[in-house]
Amino acid sequence: MRSISVMYCFLLVCMLSCQPGMMAQDLKVLVLDALNGKPQANVEVEYFCTGPPRNSAPTRSITNNEGIANISNLCNDKQKVEISVYPPNRKEQCGDDAVMKLNDVVSAGFLSKPDAAGGIWCPTKISRTLKPVPGQVIMFVKKPTWWQSHVAG
């Protein structure tokens, strides 16, 4: 019983003494197919911090079979996290890169807009059925149409 109370005291002291802006927080990036909502495995997720004090070098992670990549965020509270995805097959990221504040993702989550400008525009049928999940970024990919890959791109 004494060791449990010592552990609680240690955790409380650590929580009170750590600066929130300096604590690394893990985020999950879920990559889904924009047409059918299926999780996408083996997608390269690239992320980096933007803004003062300086932009970070891009870091990469790969999605698992459930379409999730875990990333350890080292951004401070004033920086934004920018995320791009690169599928290994002929699919491409829908819309623009995801750019968000870390605190917003941790507290409310982030759902990218597949029909946003940049990249290829994708339908929103699947994305409209989803809700953001705290601590998670949801992004979409799809195979470009012939028009998108030959004329528009």
Nearest to 47 by CA among 79, 78, 19: 79
Tell whether the model's pLDDT for residue 21 goes beyond 80.
no
CA separation (Å) from 97 to 1, 13, 49, 146? 50, 38, 13, 22
The continuous run of DSSP H or E covering 59 comes out as: strand 59-62
Residue whose tokens read 């240690």: 10
pLDDT digits (tens, 9 = 90+) for 69-128: 998 867 887 889 999 999 998 899 998 888 898 888 889 999 999 998 776 789 999 999
Tell whether the model's pLDDT for residue 23 goes beyond 80.
no
* 61's tokens: 């992670």
pLDDT of residue 121: 82
Q: How far apart are CA 115 and CA 126, in angstroms?
A: 12
pLDDT digits (tens, 9 = 90+) for 111-153: 999 998 776 789 999 999 999 999 999 999 999 877 666 565 5
pLDDT of residue 87: 95
* 14's tokens: 């650590």
Strand, coil or helix: what is 48? strand
Cβ pair 69, 93 in contact under 8 A: no
How confident is the model over 10-38, as a mean pLDDT? 65
Indicate whether this model's pTM tops 0.85: no
The continuous run of DSSP H or E covering 25 comes out as: strand 25-33
pLDDT digits (tens, 9 = 90+) for 11-20: 333 433 333 4
* Partner residues linked to 134 by β-bridges: none
Q: Does domain 24-146 have CATH number 3.40.50.2300?
A: no
**Where along the chain do its domains lie?**
24-146
